[in-house]
C-alpha cells in the first residue's frame, strides 16, 4: 500500500511569520501535534510541533502569570524562530512499510509528504499508519489471532492455510515472523471467527505447536534472576 492512499490530505498549515501563540491555537483547535510550515505557494519550509512550543515557553508560565515584558517577548516569537527545518520527508509513492521503518529509525511522530519540487501534498502520522495497518491486516473485524510455531521449510504455510480453509473459516490476514530458535518461524493467522477450539485442536493434531500470541515475544526476554 502506498503512502498516497493513507496520508492525511486535508491539512492544517501555518506560515513562518505567524506567531507562537497562533501555532499553539491552531494545534489545540484541530487536535493535532504537528503543524507543517509552508510558503505562499505551498512549498514546505519546516515543521513545528507541540514539543517545540512547550520548549519555547518558560517553566514559570505554568505556575504564575508572566511579567508584561516577558509576554511581549513571547508574543514577538515567530514560527520561523522555533520550527524545525531539517526534516525527514517522503513522497506519495513510498510504501507504508517504508514510512514505518523511517519513523522508527528517525524517532519522529509524523512525516511530511512532498512532491519532487518540495510542495506539501500530505502528512503521514503514526495514527495514519495504525489505521492503514488495521485495514491491511483486517483486524477491524471481530476475530481471533492464533500463533503457530512451525519449522522453516517449504509447504508449512500451505498446510496451515489448507487446514483452516477446510473448516470454512475466513482469514482476516496472515503474517509470518522470525522466531528466536533457528529454523523456526511463528505464523500469525487472524481468523474471522471467535470459535477456534476445533481448528486449534486440529492444528495440534497435525504436529504444530500453538503459542499464546500475547506472550510469544515476552517469553523470549531474559528472565530476572
* Set of cell numbers at residue 173: 490476514
State how far the Cα of 14 lies from the Cα of 16, in Å rounded to an integer. Answer: 7
Domains and CATH numbers, the chain: 3-135 (3.10.580.10), 144-220 (3.30.2130.10)
Q: Where are the alpha helices (DSSP H) in the chain?
A: 20-30, 50-56, 60-63, 68-76, 79-82, 96-106, 126-137, 156-166, 197-205
* Set of cell numbers at residue 154: 517449504
Q: If you ran DSSP here, which 8-state letter would residue 225 be given?
A: -
Percent of the chain with pLDDT over 70: 92
Count CA atoms closer than 13 A to 131's CA, side-chain side: 10
Closest CA to 36 of 95, 107, 121: 121
pLDDT of residue 72: 84
Place of cell 516577558: 70
State how far the Cα of 58 lies from the Cα of 38, in Å rounded to an integer. Answer: 27
Give residue-wise pLDDT tens across range 4-52. Answer: 999 999 999 999 999 999 999 999 999 999 999 999 999 999 999 999 9
Of all helices (H) and strands (E), which one includes residue 172? strand 171-178
pTM: 0.72
Give residue-wise pLDDT tens across range 44-93. Answer: 999 999 999 988 887 656 566 767 777 888 889 999 999 999 999 999 99
* Set of cell numbers at residue 64: 504564575
Q: How many CB atoms lie within 10 A of CB 63?
A: 7
Q: How many CB atoms lie within 10 A of CB 51?
A: 12
Backbone phi, psi, residue 223, to 5°: -85, 140
Amino acid at each position: 500500500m502506498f503512502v498516497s492512499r493513507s496520508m492525511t490530505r486535508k491539512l492544517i498549515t501555518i506560515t513562518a511569520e505567524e506567531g507562537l501563540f497562533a501555532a499553539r491555537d491552531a494545534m489545540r483547535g484541530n487536535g493535532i501535534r504537528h503543524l507543517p510550515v509552508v510558503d505562499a505557494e505551498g512549498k514546505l519550509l519546516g515543521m513545528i510541533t507541540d514539543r517545540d512550543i512547550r520548549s519555547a515557553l518558560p517553566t514559570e508560565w505554568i505556575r504564575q502569570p508572566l511579567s508584561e515584558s516577558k509576554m511581549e517577548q513571547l508574543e514577538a516569537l515567530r514560527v520561523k524562530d522555533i520550527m524545525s527545518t531539517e526534516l525527514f520527508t517522503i513522497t506519495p509513492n513510498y510504501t507504508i512499510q517504508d514510512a514505518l521503518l523511517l519513523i522508527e529509525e528517525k524517532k519522529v511522530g509524523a512525516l511530511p509528504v512532498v512532491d519532487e519540487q518540495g510542495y506539501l501534498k500530505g502528512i503521514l502520522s503514526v495514527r495514519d499508519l495504525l489505521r492503514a495497518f488495521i485495514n491491511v491486516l483486517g483486524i477491524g473485524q471481530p476475530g481471533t489471532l492464533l500463533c503457530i510455531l512451525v519449522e522453516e521449510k517449504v509447504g508449512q504455510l500451505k498446510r496451515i492455510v489448507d487446514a483452516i480453509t477446510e473448516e470454512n473459516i475466513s482469514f482476516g490476514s496472515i503474517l509470518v515472523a522470525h522466531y528466536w530458535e533457528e529454523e523456526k518461524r511463528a505464523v500469525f493467522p487472524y481468523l474471522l471467527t471467535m470459535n477456534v477450539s476445533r481448528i486449534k485442536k486440529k492444528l495440534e493434531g497435525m504436529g504444530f505447536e500453538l503459542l499464546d500470541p500475547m506472550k510469544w515475544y515476552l517469553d523470549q526476554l531474559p528472565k530476572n534472576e
